[in-house]
Structure formats: C-alpha cells, structure tokens
Amino acid sequence: MLDQKLIRENPTFVEENLSLRGKDYKISHIHELTVKKKEIDIEISSHQSESKKLSKLIAQEIGKSQNNNSPEINNLKKKGNDYRTKISEFEEKQRILDKQIYNEICNLPNFPSKDAPIGKDEGNNVEVKTWGDPLIKDNLKSHWEIGESLNLFDSIKSTKISKSRFISLIGNGARLERALINFMLDMHIKNGYLELMPPALVNSESLTGSGQLPKFSNESFKCSNDDLWLSPTAEVPLTAFHRNELIDPKHLPIKYVAYSPCFRREAGSYGKDTKGLIRLHQFNKVELYWFCDPSKSLEAHKSITSDAESILRELNLPYRLVDICTGDLGFSSSRTFDLEVWLPSSKCYREISSCSNCLDFQARRSSIRTKIEKKNTYLHTLNGSGLAIGRTMAAILENGQQSDGSVKIPDALVPYFGSNSLKTA
C-alpha cells in the first residue's frame, strides 16, 4: 500500500511513478479524500484540545464554588457536551473517510524501482545472464509425453475427480514430487531459512495484506460459506504470519521457507499450456520469504534470488535470469528477477521463479513494523519461489530424457528419490 501522506502532499509524484508501469493512474479523487481526512483530523485535534482546557476550567470552578450546579458551571458543562458531540460527529466522518481511502489506495500498485528496466510488457524484459548448456536436439519429447510413457501422472482421470487443469501424480511421479519438495526444503534450511507449514486456507485480510485482494479476486478460489480462500501462494500466509506486529530489529532478517499447495483459477489463460504440469489450478511450491531492515532490502533481493538459483544449479538445469521491466511487474513488487528454466521440447525458457522486492508495500498493508532509531518503521518484505515443483519436474523430465526412453535423475536428487533414473516398468 502506498503512503497516504505522500498521496496527500505530492499527488503528481505518485502519478508519475505509477505511470512507469505503462498506464495512466489518475488519483485526484483519492487526493481529495486524503485532504478532507487531514482537515477532519485537525478539527478533531482542535476540539479535543479545547475540550481538555474546558474540563480543567470546570474542575477549577467547581473547586472554587460551593455550588456544583451554578449557572456558570452548568454553562461550561453544556459547552463541554457540545464539544464531545462535535468530536463524535467528526470521528464518524473520519471512520467513513478512512474506509474510503483504504479501499481506494488498496487498488493502487507499488512504485516500480528506479533500477527496473523501463518497458510496457514482457517484450521489454532484460536478460541478465544464462547458466548451463541448453539441450537442443530434434525429435525431443515434451514432459507430458514422457510422463504418459512412464506412467508418472494422469490428467484425463483427474477430470472425473474435479475438472480440467488438475492432475494426479502416479507412482514414481508422486515419488519424484516428494523428493523435490524435501530436497528444496533441506537446501534452504541449510542456507538459514526457518521452515513453516502454513494453512492452505486464508482469510480476506491476509489476501489484502499481501496484495492479492481486492484486485485479483477473480484469480482465487473462495469458500462460499466462510471468509476463507484457497491460498494462491504461501506468500499470502507468510506475510500474514506477522500481521499487526512490531518486530524487534535484532531478529531481522527473518527468513522463512514454506512448502504449500497453491490454487489459482488462471483466469485469462484458457487455451495456453493445457497439457502437462505448467499451468494447473492446483500445484505445489516451495516459497522463500524475507522480512528485513529497509536499508538492507536491495542486498536481500540479491540473496533471495541467489538462493532460488542454487536449486537450479544443484539440479543442473539450464536457466536464465531476467530483470522484469516496469510494465510487467507484479502488483506488489517494486523490482523482480525472474528465473526461467530451459524446456527443450519448446526450445525456450519458461518462468520457474519470480523473486521480488516489495519494499514496505506489503508491510504497510499488513501493519508490520520494526523499530529504527527509536522510531516505528515499516519493514521490507521479499518473496520468491524456491522453486515451483511441477515446473521443476517438467524441466527434469525434458532435460534428462535419454534415447532409450528413460530419464536421468540429477545427482543431487538421487538420495531423495532413491534411484538415478526413471524407466518404463
């Protein structure tokens, strides 16, 4: 959430920064509301000050007089009641404005970082580096063809259980999924992360705090009888884990890693990636999340990205690092580095992790502070997939495919999977 004071005092600056996202944001209405709110705050403060002075005066008059019901004292009491009535009326207006302003500002995205590439869409993203040697051959199988031939998963039968875009993992497919989850968790725990296993159902306040609501309500699945939603990413409950808290600076940075199932409608993606493991309504993911000192979030962004990269390197999966342009940034992010893994069947890189620095955007929405130089300050939050499990499995199947139809398992994963290859029965 953007700073209300900044919107009130410098609306032009706010509009200019938001326009870097590639569209015009007109905030004159929000600006007017914040100005009215400030005027009411001043009125309340002024009336409260006068009311306190009057209370002291009444106490002094009562102390001097033998008659507590003298005309003078009664007139002062009436004046005091008038102040309290006016304060109450102003506070009601204040509550209404607070809600209006909050709802309006909640729809505004984060400012893009000054260091992010300027651009309108993904075509303007900048490749920073590549790692590994991409497998380039003719007649390579796609991961869903490999999965079907090795009986690793089934999407057809899954439609009987739920609907399209769900998948059931079978035998070694389920075993490989578990191996990847445990491997990733162990790697990140060794790098100093504390493991959490949060609830898969989250309330509206949690989704609002991380930035999914109100803008992306159509992307999530909601329970009809409760204020609960299926979590689209562990980023949501991890943000909410410290909501409304003041965190001791000596505990920063706090680094969490969480495995969770994720649920997304994938609205607007119909017809895309309908086969395989790339774009499902339900998928598993290992998420990395940092709470850190605001002065250290730029370095933290490099660290969280490096930690996600380390998984790809250990699995020997070719990938590239992409600096996301201002027009392609996620709603809550100020700057994002995407990791894209090589998928040989499509001869291209596909996103497998987005590592984002959200600055104080989520912390402000969730009221998460720390104390810096004796002043309560919103801390900074960062998140990144470490990694998306299904897409990692797809990359392993495609990059590890052998001429005899088997798949080589990366050496680092063998102790978790229990074998160095996948073969037909």
Nearest to 422 by CA among 313, 413, 346: 413
pLDDT of residue 333 exceeding 90: yes
Residue 338 in 3-state DSSP? strand
For residue 254, what pLDDT band results from cuts at 50, 70 and 90?
very high
For residue 269, what pLDDT band results from cuts at 50, 70 and 90?
low
**Does residue 178 fall inside a structural domain?**
yes
Shared domain for 310 and 355, answered yes or no, is: yes
Percent of the chain with pLDDT over 70: 97
Count of helices and strands (H, E) across the chain: 13, 17
What single-letter DSSP state applies at residue 264?
A: -
Shared domain for 87 and 185, answered yes or no, is: no
Query: Rounded CA gap, 228 and 231, in Å?
Result: 9
Shared domain for 90 and 212, answered yes or no, is: no
Say which residue, 351 or 274, is predicted with more confidence: 351
Percent of the chain with pLDDT over 90: 85
Over the range 277-314, which residues count as b (16 or more CB within 10 Å of their CB) and which as e?
bbbbbbbbbbbbbbbbbbeebeebbebbbebbbbbbee
Place of tokens 């009130």: 8
Confidence (pTM): 0.92
Nearest to 176 by CA among 315, 340, 345, 351: 315
Shared domain for 411 and 291, answered yes or no, is: yes
How many distinct structural domains can be found in the chain? 2
Tell me, what CATH number does 326's domain have? 3.30.930.10
Task: Give the mean pLDDT of 56-71.
Answer: 71
pLDDT of residue 59 exceeding 80: no
Range of the domain at 16: 4-105
Tell me, what CATH number does 51's domain have? 1.10.287.40
For residue 148, what pLDDT band results from cuts at 50, 70 and 90?
very high
